[in-house]
Amino acid sequence: MALTLAPGSTDQVLTGQATDTTLPIAYEDDGLEGAAAGLRSFYHDLVNASSWPASGPALTNGTVLKNLDLSGNDGALVNPNGEGAFNGNGLDFTGVTKRSSLYLRGSSAPLADIRGSGLGSGATATASLSGTTATASVTAGGTGYTSQARALYYGGGLPSPVTVTPTVTSGAITAIPALTNAALTSAPSIAIIPKRQFFFAELWVKLPSAANWTSDTSNGGYFPIFQCADENKAVIDDPDLFLLAEFAAGQVLRLRRQIAGATGTYSAGDSIDIAPGAGDYGSVCQIGVWRHPTLGFGAQLHRLDSAAPIVAASVVTATGAENPFDFSPKTPKFGFGVGEYALTSGTGGTFSAGQANAAKGRCYAFNIEPLDPATPRDPVAALLASWKRKLARPASFAFS
């Protein structure tokens, strides 16, 4: 590698291939430094021209959202009705009239790696019940499983799924521990999960004002901002990683991570509520979500303001059980009013006046990445570093 003069120029240019492995890696987004090697993430930022080639107000349906991890697993802008505007370096949902009419769609690649696609497949098992003890019988061992594999007992009277560690021999599931639980009233179902499903997500939004916050209590009081379920379904009836929504009761943000219900349905979930402070409504905020082997299932809200405290409002609960439903082919969807919960009924239906007010926010950037269970990065530290970088941006690149 050498510095040479370009023909007809006095500028020095770098030629050849760098072979010095001690040189720091240049990332399209600094947040990718620390992401798990060999696992696919999705990083997108409407300010970054490498990620948003449109670089401005043209909100053309199907515009490619380039993944900043440079894997080629890109996303797209969904805007079939030509709604919304580009303001403050983000998607402005003021004036959007229909559910799932405008949103940023990411790649399914990180969801596949969070669930563990490629790590194992084909294993099946059944359970029989004697008293309050369920005994598993492996009906097919499958191939490609690793020590990350888990088995989930669900249904049969269990109030929530129970995770156990199966025996893996030469890539096949060969045995599953029995489960004794006083809640068991019938034989439960068993799901084999290839991976522990640890992840980290970061979303940048401008929240609606408190006056515009959803007050609609239909569909449980949710007004979605992010989900991975299909665009006209929801976490209760379609595989999903998690749902983020405005929640009517208490004017809070609600995170709901999907797990199996007591009957093996989508109905149950681990939920976290974060109450925005008075200054957070109507402001640009960072929302972080994680499921971590030692830090549990957590969420964090941090206003983008130099006067805001460095320590953000956060809520953490137990790590909880894995999700038995296969969300790996789903895509992340980021936008106010996406999904079934945005309306009481109908497909692509028109918002009520209250729902249109609840959509008066902006979306700027989001990332989602798998965490390596052996060496997971600290999501709280990663969120703080990202918050500081966004705060330091010059005005022309700032979220507003």
pLDDT tens, 41-57?
A: 999 999 988 888 765 67
**pTM here?**
0.89
| pLDDT higher than threshold 80 for residue 373 | yes
What is the distance between the alpha carbons of residues 122 and 367, in angstroms, rounded to a whole number?
Answer: 31
E strand or H helix at 379, and its extent?
A: helix 379-391
Kindly tell me if the per-residue pLDDT of 23 is higher than 50. no
Query: What pLDDT is stored for residue 20 in this prediction?
Result: 57
Average pLDDT, the chain: 89
Q: What CATH architecture does domain 30-114+197-397 belong to?
A: Sandwich (2.60)
Amino acid (1-letter code) at residue 155 = G
Phi and psi based region of residue 320 (left: phi greater than 0; alpha: psi -120 to 50; beta: remaining): left
What number is the average pLDDT over the span 240-246? 96
Question: Please, what is the end-to-end C-alpha distance for the chain in angstroms?
Answer: 43
Mean per-residue pLDDT for 202-216?
97
Position 269 confidence tier, pLDDT thresholds 50, 70, 90: confident
Mean pLDDT of all residues in 176-196:
95
Could you tell me the two tokens for 357?
């007010």
Distance CA(146)–CA(176), nearest Å, equals: 14
pLDDT at residue 357, rounded to an integer? 95
Question: Which residue in 290, 255, 270, 246 sits closest to 383, CA to CA?
Answer: 290
> What is the reported pLDDT for 77?
95
